[in-house]
Amino acid sequence: MRKIRETLRLHFDSNLGQRPIARCLNVSRTTVSDYLRRASTAGLSWPLPDSMSDSQLHALLFPSTEPVAHFERVLPDYSHLHTELKRKGVTLTLLWEEYYAEQPNGYRYSQFCEHYRRWARKLKVSMRQIHKAGEKLFVDYAGHTLPIVNRHTGEISESQVFVAVMGASNFTFAEATLSQNLNDWLGSHVRAFEFLGGVPELVIPDNLKSAVSKPCRYEPDLNPSYQDLAEHYGTAVIPARVRRPKDKSKAELGVQVVERWILARLRNQTFFSLQEANAAIRTLLKDLNTRPFKKLPGCRKEAFESLDLPELKALPKQAYTFAQWKKVRVGIDYHIEVDGHYYSVPYQSRGKQLDARITDEIVECFLKRKRIASHRRSFEKGRHTTVNAHMPKGHQEYAEWTPERLIRWAGKNGPQTAAMTQVILSSRQHAQQAFRSAMGLISLAKTYTPQRLEAACELALEGGATAYKSVKSILASGLDKQPRQQSLPDMQPVAHDNIRGGHYYN
């Protein structure tokens, strides 16, 4: 379902054709065509409703059908096709029409082309790529690094050099970064798009870890954060095949040019910060892009302004925010953990695996591409951020109890009950430990009437019996009903010669 949704997005939002979409998703063009045809038949519009689940989408696109009888089809003459295609003006469409006229039960156009391409790939011929204006941006890191010297300690760190080249014009962007990690990789893309003043249809990277989570010849898995950047800018990412440098020959050549015309010239200079290094790179980059071509008129900048720039998509109004994606598992306490802090999600999702999108400000949780929770980012380790709406009803009611609320509730029965409740709550190190005792005390009014509970609390407070069980024992034994003992009047000591008095014993 993910590839179907991505097919619809690239078709409607990015206006890509079937072939670029097929290369981007590493599926056949016929599969892309089938997805789009089924979506049109089902009457689907883009964007899809947020409430539509994957199972509903599958039911709409792939309704149950009756089995169709199969029959043998006549294969085309691939050698003849290959020879005819070398002639000027001859296309696969024309050759298919001639084939289908002779073989009405033969293959349809999509399968005809697919079978021919499978045969042609076995020839191992190199194809000269023709790049459309504004279509492809090739990105890679240079093999050479640029030393950065710590001014205070003299320690040398090797900065990485990011290179981006437009396919049609060879217009080049380069900058130095501290590393090739995800943050620097995505940041270089953002600055490359700003340098170009627009966004190309496709980005062609290598298979480094920051770009591709799991390399595969047929179906590589993009890093989720890289995919997030592509969706933000409305572009598509098609990684080059593993160990196939010809897939990104423009990047290979661009890296070579940057190493020879920029890094080689900076080899004798010492840089004490990235800012100094990038300032020097920008100066030489301007010279590189304005240097005249040897065999063609103009330069890279002129070619870019006339070919690529008019075809680039506009930059989005909102700047891209770096976001890291992480697989998280919901615990039995309906919280997920991100960098030592715990965030709540709806309790119905406990035990399930979610996708967490993490920025410097926000933590968002997604279940099957649907956002179910969002929290402000916290960096306090071991602490919890909990939303009451995520709790079961019983937990919500318990969370609403506070010492102040219990004392107010007890005060409705009488001041002695409130005083006893306050004493019980303050007798524990944490007030929550005495919640059950306080609630039990208040509930005695239902069994013994509020008047008796008030009298029992007064009697217990006078005697220093400040516990729930003490009050319950007084009520159960009826001590609160017995007449209270009157205090004796103060008596003055008797003065007599035969009475020694207290001083005698000192």
**Region 367-386: what's the mean pLDDT?**
89
Those residues with Cβ within 8 angstroms of residue 416's Cβ, 6 or more apart along the chain or in another chain = 454, 455, 457, 458, 461
Q: Give the tens place of pLDDT for each residue, 378-413.
A: 988 888 888 888 888 766 666 666 788 888 888 888
Per-residue b or e along 332-360, where b marks 16 or more CB atoms closer than 10 Å to that residue's CB = eebbbebeebbbbbbbebbeeebbbbbee
- Nearest to residue 217, comparing CAs of 234, 235, 242? 242
- Nearest to residue 254, comparing CAs of 285, 297, 290? 285
Backbone phi and psi for residue 49, each to the nearest 5 degrees, phi listed first: -60, 140
Those residues with Cβ within 8 angstroms of residue 315's Cβ, 6 or more apart along the chain or in another chain = 193, 194, 197, 198, 199, 233
pLDDT higher for 141 or 241?
141
- How confident is residue 190, by pLDDT bands cut at 50, 70 and 90? very high
- How far apart, in whole angstroms, are the C-alpha atoms of residue 391 and residue 396? 6
- How far apart, in whole angstroms, are the C-alpha atoms of residue 163 and residue 188? 9
Q: Are strands 341-344 and 212-214 parallel, antiparallel or unpaired?
A: unpaired
Predicted local confidence at residue 123, as pLDDT: 57
pLDDT higher for 493 or 279?
279
The C-alpha angle 314, 319, 321, rounded to 5 degrees, equals 135
Question: Which amino acid, residue 493?
Answer: P
Those residues with Cβ within 8 angstroms of residue 190's Cβ, 6 or more apart along the chain or in another chain = 229, 319, 320
pLDDT over 80 (residue 166): yes
pLDDT over 90 (residue 10): no
Q: Give the tens place of pLDDT for each residue, 456-467.
A: 998 889 888 888
pLDDT over 70 (residue 311): yes
- How confident is residue 68, by pLDDT bands cut at 50, 70 and 90? very low
Least reliable range by pLDDT among 90-99, 154-163, 247-256, 329-338: 247-256
Domains along the sequence of the chain with CATH: 2-62+73-121 (no CATH), 136-311 (3.30.420.10), 324-397 (no CATH), 401-481 (no CATH)
pLDDT over 50 (residue 127): no
pLDDT higher for 328 or 466?
328
**pTM > 0.85: yes or no:** no
Least reliable range by pLDDT among 6-15, 91-100, 180-189: 6-15
pLDDT higher for 220 or 318?
318
Least reliable range by pLDDT among 184-193, 306-315, 428-437: 428-437
- How far apart, in whole angstroms, are the C-alpha atoms of residue 71 and residue 255? 52
pLDDT over 90 (residue 246): no
**Region 29-44: what's the mean pLDDT?**
84
Backbone phi and psi for residue 336, each to the nearest 5 degrees, phi listed first: -115, 155
- How far apart, in whole angstroms, are the C-alpha atoms of residue 65 and residue 168? 46
* Mean pLDDT value across the chain: 83
pLDDT higher for 248 or 218?
248
